[in-house]
């Protein structure tokens, strides 16, 4: 794995994983943390059985940022 790929993965996954870890710390339940991680990309929370688009921002905004970083890094490092 290249340094750029490691940075892209870190940018894309750090916010959703941090959110899931905080959910685990507050509840102590691994299932609740996994539900929070899934809600970051689907918007659906399986524990409260509701859907909210604002949950998807936790997953997709960093994913877009990682994509943009990859595009810029590939141009700069040529």
At 8-47, the pLDDT tens digits run 999 999 999 999 999 899 988 888 888 888 999 999 988 8
How far apart, in Å, are the Cα atoms of 40 and each of 1, 10, 19, 69?
A: 25, 16, 9, 20
pTM over 0.95: no
pLDDT tier at 61, thresholds 50, 70, 90: very high
């Amino acid at each position: 794995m290249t340094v750029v790929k490691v940075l892209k993965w870190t940018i894309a996954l750090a916010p959703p994983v941090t959110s899931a870890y905080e959910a685990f710390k507050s509840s102590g339940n691994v299932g609740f943390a996994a539900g929070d991680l899934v809600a970051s990309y689907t918007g659906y929370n399986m524990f409260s059985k509701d859907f909210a688009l604002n949950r998807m921002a936790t997953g997709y905004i960093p994913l877009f940022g990682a994509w943009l970083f990859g595009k810029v890094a590939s141009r700069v490092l040529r």
